[in-house]
């Protein structure tokens, strides 16, 4: 029986699909993202290629084991001054990332790939630009304490759907894409493939 699988452990992506009323189940892909990023960096891959490659790998890793299902793989990368930032492992490192982004512009690239078996049915890459304001050290300390390890799940150590929006002076781009899932183009693709009703 065919169905729709989200090949992602992201809580934000799950929440977006649930709120939109899209039936799905989660199967987390077994992909070594760190090793793949090292390989891509070694050959000078641009940020867009990194995001699309990882999204394809995640979708493919699950689609090959669930051949009758539609599988969505996603990846998001953050670029600041031409440098890719990764998720961090602890709150102290998160504070360093936020200090580095403070008062500066960065770009979020969100890639999505929809597969069935080995076939890529749809893919997209959404871009958003975000400007962090010059918040005080006291604000940053309070934010990090209040948010705690919750911020470690996001590449920029913030969630714009919550308290993280207070970090910003300006945001340009699709709100859903910033949260990790460009929803409206995805819904179009799912309707076209018959996953959800027209």
Q: How far is residue 179 from each of residues 83, 117, 139, measured CA to CA in Å?
A: 20, 27, 23
Beta-carbon-side half-sphere exposure of residue 180 (alpha carbons within 13 Å): 26
**Are 23 and 3 in contact, with CB atoms under 8 Å apart?**
yes
| pLDDT at residue 72, as a whole number | 98
Q: What is the pLDDT of residues 63-96, one digit of tens each?
A: 999 999 999 999 999 999 999 998 899 999 999 9
Cα–Cα distance for residue pair 11/179, rounded to 1 Å: 10
CA distance 34 to 125: 20
Domains of the chain (ranges; CATH) run 4-192 (3.90.950.10)
Query: Residues 19, 177, 56, 189: what is their CA dihedral angle, to the nearest 10 degrees?
Result: 60
Beta carbons within 8 Å of 72's beta carbon, 6+ residues apart: 4, 5, 6, 7, 8, 59, 112, 113, 114, 115, 186
Q: Exposure of 148 by Cβ count < 10 A (0-12 exposed, 13-18 middle, 19+ buried)?
A: exposed
Q: How many CA atoms lie within 13 A of 113 on its CB side?
A: 24
pTM: 0.94
- Active site members: 75
Q: What is the pLDDT along the chain (198 residues), one digit of tens a residue?
A: 579 999 999 999 999 999 999 999 999 999 998 899 999 999 999 999 999 999 999 999 999 999 999 999 999 999 999 999 988 999 999 999 999 999 999 999 999 999 999 999 999 999 999 999 999 999 999 999 999 999 999 999 999 999 999 999 999 999 999 999 999 999 999 999 999 999
| pLDDT tens digits, 45-56 | 999 999 999 999
Beta-carbon contacts of 139 under 8 Å, excluding residues fewer than 6 positions away, are: 166
């Amino acid at each position: 029986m065919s169905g729709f699988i989200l090949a992602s452990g992201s809580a934000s992506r799950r929440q977006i699909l649930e709120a939109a009323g899209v039936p799905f189940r989660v199967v987390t892909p077994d992909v070594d993202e760190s090793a793949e990023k090292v390989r891509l960096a070694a050959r000078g891959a641009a940020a867009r290629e990194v995001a699309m490659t990882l999204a394809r790998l995640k979708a493919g890793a699950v689609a090959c084991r669930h051949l009758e299902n539609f599988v969505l793989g996603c990846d998001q990368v953050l670029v600041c001054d031409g440098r890719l930032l990764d998720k961090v492992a602890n709150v102290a490192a998160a504070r360093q990332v936020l200090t580095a982004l403070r008062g500066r512009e960065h770009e979020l690239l969100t890639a999505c790939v929809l597969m069935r078996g080995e076939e890529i049915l749809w893919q997209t890459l959404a871009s958003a630009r975000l400007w962090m304001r010059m918040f005080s050290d006291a604000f940053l300390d309070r934010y990090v304490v209040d948010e705690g390890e919750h911020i470690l799940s996001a590449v920029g150590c913030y969630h714009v759907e919550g308290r993280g929006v207070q970090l910003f002076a300006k945001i340009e781009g699709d709100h859903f894409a910033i949260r990790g899932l460009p929803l409206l183009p995805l819904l179009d693709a799912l309707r076209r493939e018959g996953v959800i009703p027209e």
